[in-house]
Amino acid sequence: MSAIRRLAAALCLSAAVAAPAAAAELSWSAMTGYQDGWAFRGTGTVSRIVPGTPLGLSFGGGLTFMDPGNADAARRVFINDATNGTPEKNGYMWDLRLDGIWYFAVSHLVDSGAFLGLRYNSFAGRFKYVGGNEDFTIESKEWGVGGGFRGAIPLSARWNLCFALGLDWFPSVTLYGHDTSYSSGGEVVNGIDNYGWSDASAAVNRWRLLPSLMIGASWR
| CATH code at position 110 | 2.40.160.70
Rounded CA gap, 186 and 207, in Å?
Answer: 15
Nearest partner of 93 among 61, 60, 123, judged by Cα: 123
Q: How many domains does the chain have?
A: 1
What is the model's pTM? 0.84
Q: What single letter denotes the amino acid at residue 192? A: I
In tens digits, the chain (220 residues) has pLDDT values of 555 555 455 445 544 444 444 343 899 999 999 999 999 999 999 987 887 889 999 999 999 999 999 999 999 999 988 888 999 999 999 999 999 999 999 999 999 999 999 999 999 999 999 988 889 999 999 999 999 999 999 999 999 999 999 999 999 999 999 899 999 999 999 999 999 999 999 999 998 999 999 999 999 8
Range of the domain at 173: 2-219
Q: Rounded to the nearest 5°, which phi and psi values hold at 4?
A: -65, -40
